[in-house]
A and B are shown apart, each in its own frame.
Chain A
Amino acid sequence: MLALIAYLALLTFVLGFGWRIWTYWRSPAPLKIPTTPAPVCKSGVVWRLFTEVAFFNSLFKGNKWTWLGGYLFHAALALVLIRHLRYFVQPLPEAFAYIQIAGIVAGLAMVGGLGFLLVRRFWVDRTRYISSFADYAILVLLLAIGISGLLMQFVFRPDIVEIKSAMLGWVTFQGFSTPEDALFVVHFLLVLVLMVIFPFSKLMHLGGIFFSPTRNQVDNPREQKHVNPWAVAE
């Protein structure tokens, strides 16, 4: 049963994500609209996007506290995800031993960052005003995932061997039977929910940022004619 849900969720995530990216890809950018400071060459654009993704440059300019919470959460999430690879890879490369601790600390940082973002969203008048149920729900979902994960790490230690074999079965498409541990099942189910809503929510910012014309365009409209594919030919 769990296996079936897991495969449906995976399918929804992959197809949905692909469908959104395809939508962005195929919609044309009729005009040049990069925002200053705009690079005048391609490599400049690559660097710009890299700094946006790696350091949240613009957000840093915009709001230091949001940057702090957001950055903490995202950086920690990245580490946590890397650490989680240990449940999906067999045999395990030696390098994983070294990120074990970092991954666990990151788990705590991630929950901390999320908590901060949630409190901030509710506390600051401006963000409370713009927030819908969905905005809170996503934060709460992520928090629940993080907390259930931490509980498994620190309090109720489930049978990792059993879980790992289930996860390997999942990602190698060999099917798996539901592990015993209830906390794990909850954790896993929540992740599946996240995967399902991902393509239909603001979480698409993950892929969308690379398609943002104000950030990914080269500032060279005078040097090179930018062609609007749908303009009526004169």
Chain B
Amino acid sequence: MAHLRPYPAAEKHMTPLDFPGTRVENWQQKGIEKLGEMLHKYRSLQVYMDICVKCGACADKCHYYLGTGDPNNMPVQRAELLRSVYRRYFTPAGKLFPKLVRATDFDETALQKWFTYFHQCSQCRRCSVFCPYGIDTAEISMAAREIMDAIGVGHKYTTEIVGKVHAIGNNLGIPGPALTGTLQFLEDDLLDNTGHEIRLPLDQEGADVLLVAPSADFFSEPHISSLMGYAKVFHQAGISFTISSFASEAANFGMFIGSFAQKQKIAKRIADKARELRVKRIVVGECGHAWRVAYSFWNTLNGPFDFLDPNYPVPQHICEFTHQLNERGALVFDKEANDDLTVTFHDSCNVARASRMGPSAGGQFEIPRALIRATTNKFVEMDADTIRERTFCCGGGGGLLTDELMDLRVRGVLPRITALKRVMEEDGVNYVALICAICKAQFNKMFPMYGIPMEAVGGVHALVNNAIQIGAKRGIV
């Protein structure tokens, strides 16, 4: 069982988030109380605890089940780990006849299973698409994680990162000066390569747009090319923008630990910065879970955003932004610049199943594809069962992109790799475009293990970066 179970959080990771530093004395009782509290706070949890008919339609839909073959990774069985405890303490049947309905005590065994298997769910929501009642195992995993946090049994990777966001402003813990240096370096690079002064401004008050990108975009490959792509789009459109050193992170790991309070607190610093910098729009970079939180939750968490320009949706996705400019004829693309690539698109699960782009349903599928078509000549789709709302997670989402879960990640990516290999062999695909920082990092690491070159993955805006013609201004606004 190597690398299938996360490291527990230590006291120093837990206390900054107001969680108990170590497992509380009466953890069983506290856990059950917390579950009771959650049932009153989340309709999803309450309803999903009751109505699963165990039809099994979701069972073979989870990439972790397909990859590991572990029955506890069938979404229904994962949910049962919590449900059996729910039945024991909250339903007449479970109180009276625990054996008959498979109700279990909240004991050490149950807790250990929770810790393992609720951290083998990337909250991708694929199971929810196929369930006759829309039962969303992601909601259940989040609830279980929140209960565990409340009794002092945390997950090191995610709690540590949330701590960094509060202390420093981003997940990678990049301090302001380092960020300034990097952006400076990238600007020089852009100048050398294009001959144009393309800016990457930091903390610039009065800019039109606050750009909130995942922090990986500043430092990691292949993320950086997307950042350069965004910068070129802004430059070319003549719209001023700024990055904020304190809100230099789009991702919201509050979702991974299931905590509403943390989600709200992490999101709030972006709203605050937008006010402070007096921007008119907020644009979110290529980050899957970030876009879910921004699109679906921001308004609830910290809205209304009535201090921004009402002509643009809040928040706006960078793909929406670029697509809109392109539709208006503000950008010129040289598709041939990408002619060495045959591209396929991986729908990142949190964009695909939990959030939208543009005004109409399904915009999150069409807009990135439209951008790929606008910037490349060769675009191929993977198997219909593995794209759009049926897409497979990369295997690293939901706070699982950590080294101690390497085996899980390798197995979880398998369904995606299988579909990908097919188009690589049949259609000569050599580039997977996508819009999620976690997916990029995960694929980057996984591809070589499956004999696929590491470079075969990158952002949609990396394609934009290659194809966009700088200088040939057409003028807009």
Residues of A within 8 A of B (CB): 20, 23-24, 27-33, 35-40, 44, 52, 56, 58-59, 61-63, 66-67, 70, 124, 126-127, 129-135, 137, 197, 200-202, 204-205, 208-209, 211-215, 219, 221-228, 230-232, 234
- What distance in Å separates the Cβ of B298 from its nearest Cβ neighbour in chain A? 8
Q: What are 25 A-to-B residue pairs whose CB atoms are below 8 Å? A: A30-B300, A31-B300, A32-B296, A32-B297, A33-B136, A33-B354, A35-B128, A36-B129, A36-B354, A37-B389, A40-B359, A62-B61, A62-B129, A129-B77, A132-B102, A197-B93, A200-B92, A200-B93, A209-B133, A211-B43, A212-B47, A214-B44, A221-B298, A222-B295, A228-B260
Closest to A125 in B: B71
B127-159 toward A: CB 8 Å interface, digit per residue (1/0)?
Answer: 011111111100100000000000000000000
CB atoms of B46 and A130 under 8 A apart: no
Closest to A134 in B: B101
Task: Give the residues in chain B near A232, CB-CB below 8 Å.
Answer: 261
Contact status of A222 and B313, CB under 8 A, knowing A62-B130, A209-B133, A213-B43:
yes
**Residue among B44, B55, B99, B315 facing the most chain A CB atoms (10 A cut-off):** B55
Closest to A137 in B: B100
- What distance in Å separates the Cβ of B7 from its nearest Cβ neighbour in chain A? 28
Task: Give the residues in chain A near B58, CB-CB below 8 Å.
Answer: 62
CB atoms of A52 and B132 under 8 A apart: yes
Range, interface on chain B: 35 or more
Task: Give the residues in chain A near B303, CB-CB below 8 Å.
Answer: 225
- What distance in Å separates the Cβ of B370 from its nearest Cβ neighbour in chain A? 18
CB atoms of B260 and A30 under 8 A apart: yes
Task: Give the residues in chain A near B360, CB-CB below 8 Å.
Answer: 40
CB atoms of A27 and B43 under 8 A apart: yes
Task: Give the residues in chain A near B302, CB-CB below 8 Å.
Answer: 234
**Is B51's beta carbon under 8 Å from chain A?**
yes
**Is B52's beta carbon under 8 Å from chain A?**
yes
Among the listed A23, A129, A208, A228, which residue makes an inter-chain contact with B300, where contact means beta carbons less than 8 Å apart? A228
Among the listed B39, B50, B125, B300, which residue makes an inter-chain contact with A226, where contact means beta carbons less than 8 Å apart? B300
Closest to A29 in B: B43
**Is B60's beta carbon under 8 Å from chain A?**
yes
**Is B2's beta carbon under 8 Å from chain A?**
no
Known pairs A31-B260, A62-B130, A129-B77 / 14 extra A-B pairs, C-beta < 8 Å: A23-B46, A30-B260, A31-B297, A33-B296, A33-B354, A63-B130, A124-B56, A126-B59, A130-B54, A131-B54, A134-B100, A202-B50, A202-B52, A221-B299
